[in-house]
Copies of this chain bind each other. A is one copy, B any other.
Amino acid sequence: MNEIVETMLNHRSVRSFKPDPLPADHIEQLVLAGQAASTSSYLQAYTIIGVTDQALKQSLAQLAGNQAYVAENGHFFLFCADFHRHEIAADIHQTDIQDAVTSAEKLIVGISDASLASQNVALAAESMGYGICYIGGIRNNAEEVAELLNLPDHVLPLFGMCVGTPAVIPDKKPRLPIDAVYAENGYFSPETQTESLQQYDDITSSYYSERTGGVRADTWSLQVSGMLSTLKRGHMLPFMQKKGWNRH
């Protein structure tokens, strides 16, 4: 196993950082690493906003559900799907691209382009000795985040990422068994899938039990059932549509 795969396998989400800000050349390397990821049809349909202003970071931390580490880290990135840039390009050539950019298909493109770039940023940061944590919580108040950072239409805030020198390095959480995630030449059989989920429940149950001296008897299936039993962020569809996304 090479160093790159080892760095990937060593990932864990860090939620406590030393306050030292990232130097400018590191930020530049991270963004260039993100940009080097694949992009759908060369569209590069994303924008990365770095947040260095402490008052802005405090506001984002609140909007993301009072997560202190959103304000306290070495650098905060916000990843957005972006077709506003293409609107400007189309204006130069007097072309109408509204029908395309407001489609659900282009939402897929924007989210995947932004996500591929973000994962390169995450791994590049980890390769430089930093820890990272994705912040989906910014979607709790997506509209306020968009206003705070002056995002025009066709720019959709997706998630943030805290980067910095870890103050605390947490354990790695066990992933689904490979047989529950990877199948060949077709989808899993119902039997295989149920079996591998049961296996995973045993693994996660032991994991939580060991870390809480037997107090927490959670399993993955129980955890996700609870988490998905209520609708969260039901505002995302109207918000997206208002901002020119996912209309048809």
Contact = CB atoms under 8 A, between A and B. Distances in A.
Interface string A2-13: 111101111101
A67 B184 CA distance: 21
A23 interface: no
A85 to B, nearest CB: 7
* Stoichiometry, copies per complex: 2
B226 A95 contact: yes
A93 B225 contact: yes
A27 to B, nearest CB: 8
Contacts of A132: 38
A221 B89 contact: yes
Contact of A5 (B127, B180, B228, B229): B127
A119 B35 contact: no
Interface in A33-77: 33-38, 40-44, 46-53, 56
Contact of A184 (B52, B107, B223): B52
B182 A31 contact: yes
Interface stretch (A97-105, A163-171, A209-217): A97-105
Given A8-B37, A237-B246, 19 more contacts: A1-B29, A3-B4, A5-B124, A9-B36, A28-B178, A37-B119, A38-B122, A38-B132, A44-B175, A50-B184, A83-B228, A93-B222, A93-B225, A99-B231, A100-B228, A100-B230, A106-B228, A109-B136, A119-B119
29 contacts: A3-B3, A3-B4, A5-B127, A8-B36, A11-B37, A35-B178, A35-B181, A37-B122, A40-B134, A41-B136, A42-B173, A42-B224, A48-B183, A49-B185, A49-B187, A51-B184, A83-B228, A85-B176, A85-B180, A88-B190, A89-B222, A89-B224, A92-B225, A95-B225, A96-B229, A100-B230, A104-B240, A112-B114, A150-B186
A108 B236 contact: yes
- Please name the 10 residue pairs, one residue from A and one from B, whose CB atoms are nearest each other, closest first: A115-B115, A89-B221, A4-B127, A119-B119, A97-B228, A104-B237, A105-B233, A95-B225, A100-B228, A93-B225
A199 interface: no
Contacts of A2: 127-128
A141 interface: no
A38 B109 CA distance: 20
